[in-house]
Amino acid sequence: MVDQGKSQQADAAFNIRPVRPSDNPAVARIIRQVMTEYDAVGCGFSINDPEVDSIYEAYPHPRWAFFVVEKQKRVLGCGGMGPLQGGEAGVCELRKMYFMPELRGAGIGKQLLGIILDAARGAGYSLCYLETLENMSHARKLYSKYGFEPIRHALGNTGHSSCNCFMTLKL
């Protein structure tokens, strides 16, 4: 399990650390801005999840983890994992991994993804599942490079019926 009290350096300019209660507004802003950028605002998208405004409170269980990426004390990215709702016991879901434009292409996504997957392994998960969109090509490319493989259908019951790309990674 990742020590929730420790921060991890993404590089000299960025810091990846566990989410804090004070991060809730920044994380909600990131989720809403990125989802809007990709036209993912209607019914069936994670932008409408109740946890968007209270991420810290939504990830309290030891088998859950959520992290933020900050630069000069500004939260610019986020992502986490937790048990797949309606899924098998050993399956977690990669959740709400979003970055503001200034973080994209700097290798921070790979570092955050590694931290999240280490937390998932530490929590005893054997498979990580994610849902995304075909038009989020940079994200899908990152997931593929990390070993995620596409599957034909959704798993579990996430409520994200508008997602059209599903992937898994054996942990």
Query: Taking residues 99-110, what's their average pLDDT?
Result: 90
115 vs 157, more confident: 115
**Does 9 score more than 80 pLDDT?**
no
Contact partners, residue 131, CB within 8 Å, separation at least 6: 93, 154, 158, 160, 163, 165, 166
pLDDT per residue as tens digits for the range 19-30: 999 999 999 999
14-18 and 91-99 beta bridge pairing: unpaired
Q: What pLDDT, on a 0 to 100 scale, did the predictor assign at position 3?
A: 41
**Does 61 score more than 90 pLDDT?**
no
Range with the largest mean pLDDT of 9-18, 28-37, 122-131:
122-131
**Does 12 score more than 60 pLDDT?**
no
What are the structural domain ranges in the chain? 8-170
pLDDT per residue as tens digits for the range 117-151: 999 999 999 999 999 988 888 899 999 999 999 99
Q: What pLDDT, on a 0 to 100 scale, did the predictor assign at position 146?
A: 92
The whole-model pTM stands at 0.89
Q: Among 139, 141, 18, which residue's Cα sits nearest to residue 78?
A: 18
Query: Taking residues 64-68, what's their average pLDDT?
Result: 97
Q: Which CATH architecture has domain 8-170?
A: 3-Layer(aba) Sandwich (3.40)
Query: Taking residues 4-22, what's their average pLDDT?
Result: 72
